[in-house]
């Protein structure tokens, strides 16, 4: 049985054989006990342990599993189903993290299209390990968005939820007429969290950015408030954001004193079509 992935060393197709993926040149990659495969060569790793750490992946999983971002998930599921065409529709989640969105979208897609395929990868091994434990319906791998180990023009939809951009690779792996769904934080996303840690909070920049080879179709907006009623969940949210690395000790101390947090949540979902 052929894998959705290709060999990261030579670009040839990978065939599943027992507990490994092998290409015709003899390159072999073990399938872990959880079901994912590591396709990030050592010379492509930007650090010893790239991406989110084990602790960060755990925080993200704990927060998302409590449903705080469920409105975004539901809108993504709706969008994918709306764009889906044909029984063998395929979705590639680039930077899938710990698999919250990937697993749920795969389930929703399978219910409508039993032959649909969902594939996800991330550069963080701890995150992919968690993702693979969520579902066996998705083919997961450790890989980089800057060198995606899948064949040219092999997917109908590419999903990017807060992950690094690699437009050239996205264009390469999407089929002609395929869709690129890009989720970004809107202007006042987590505004009250920012206000708790910064003396002068700032709004995120909103813009419809043109990308070569893609036509921007529409922007779907998800806006609501969420009440976080315990310190553990507030800290889990904090660790999910870039503010975790940028916040001073004084700001982090202010946040640690909060017993609850009512904050705005705001996402923009940009839909692009490959030209």
Q: Is the pLDDT of residue 167 over 90?
A: yes
Q: Please, are residues 16 and 2 in contact by the beta-carbon 8 Å criterion?
A: yes
Q: For strand 174-185 and strand 28-30, is the pairing parallel, antiparallel, or unpaired? A: unpaired
Give the Å distances, CA to CA, from 148 to 69, 90, 123, 165: 27, 16, 10, 12
Identify which of 202, 248, 252 has the alpha carbon closest to the alpha carbon of residue 231: 252
Q: Position of tokens 């690129």?
A: 180
Please give the mean pLDDT across all residues of the chain.
Answer: 94
Q: Is the pLDDT of residue 208 over 90?
A: no
Share of the chain above pLDDT 90, in %: 84
pLDDT of residue 190: 96
The stretch 12-25 carries a mean pLDDT of 95
* Domains of the chain, residue spans: 1-31, 35-189+202-221+266-274
Q: Higher confidence at residue 229 or residue 88?
A: 229
Q: Please, are residues 141 and 37 in contact by the beta-carbon 8 Å criterion?
A: yes
Q: Is the pLDDT of residue 250 over 90?
A: no
The stretch 104-114 carries a mean pLDDT of 94
The stretch 2-28 carries a mean pLDDT of 95
Q: Is residue 169 classed as helix, strand or coil in its secondary structure?
A: helix
Q: Is the pLDDT of residue 71 over 90?
A: yes
- The CATH number given to 35-189+202-221+266-274 is 3.40.50.150
The stretch 27-31 carries a mean pLDDT of 97
Residue 227's DSSP bridge partners are 262
pLDDT of residue 112: 92
The stretch 190-215 carries a mean pLDDT of 92
Task: Tell me which DSSP letter residue 96 carries.
Answer: -
Per residue in 48-57, pLDDT tens?
Answer: 678 889 999 9
Look up residue 238 and give its two tokens: 């904090």
Q: Is the pLDDT of residue 130 over 70?
A: yes
pLDDT of residue 83: 95
Q: Is residue 251 classed as helix, strand or coil in its secondary structure?
A: helix
Instruction: Please tell me the least confidently modeled range out of 37-46, 78-87, 257-266.
Output: 37-46
Q: Is the pLDDT of residue 47 over 70?
A: no
Share of the chain above pLDDT 70, in %: 98
d(CA 193, CA 209): 26
pLDDT of residue 248: 86
């Amino acid at each position: 049985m052929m894998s959705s992935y290709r060999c990261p060393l030579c670009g040839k197709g990978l065939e599943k054989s027992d507990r490994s993926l092998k290409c015709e040149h003899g390159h072999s990659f073990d399938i872990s006990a959880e079901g994912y495969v590591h396709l990030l060569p050592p010379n492509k790793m930007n650090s010893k342990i790239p991406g989110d750490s084990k602790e960060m992946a755990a925080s993200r999983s704990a927060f998302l599993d409590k449903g705080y971002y469920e409105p975004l998930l539901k809108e993504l599921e709706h969008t994918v189903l709306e764009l889906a065409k044909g029984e063998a529709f395929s979705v590639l989640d680039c930077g899938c993290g710990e698999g919250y969105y990937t697993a749920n979208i795969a389930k929703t897609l399978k219910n409508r299209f039993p032959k649909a395929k969902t594939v996800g990868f991330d550069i963080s091994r701890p995150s992919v390990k968690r993702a693979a434990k969520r579902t066996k319906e998705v083919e997961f791998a450790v890989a980089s968005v800057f060198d995606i180990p899948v064949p040219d023009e092999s997917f109908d939809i590419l999903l990017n939820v807060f992950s690094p951009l690699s437009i050239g690779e996205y264009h390469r792996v999407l089929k002609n007429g395929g869709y690129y769904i890009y989720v970004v934080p809107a202007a006042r996303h987590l505004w009250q969290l920012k206000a708790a840690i910064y003396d002068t909070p700032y709004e995120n920049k909103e813009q419809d950015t043109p990308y070569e080879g893609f036509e921007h179709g529409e922007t779907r907006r998800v806006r609501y408030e969420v009440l976080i009623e315990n310190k553990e969940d507030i800290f889990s949210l904090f660790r999910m954001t870039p503010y975790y690395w940028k916040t001073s000790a004084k700001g982090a101390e202010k946040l640690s004193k909060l017993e609850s947090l009512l904050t705005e949540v705001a996402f923009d979902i940009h839909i692009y079509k490959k030209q």
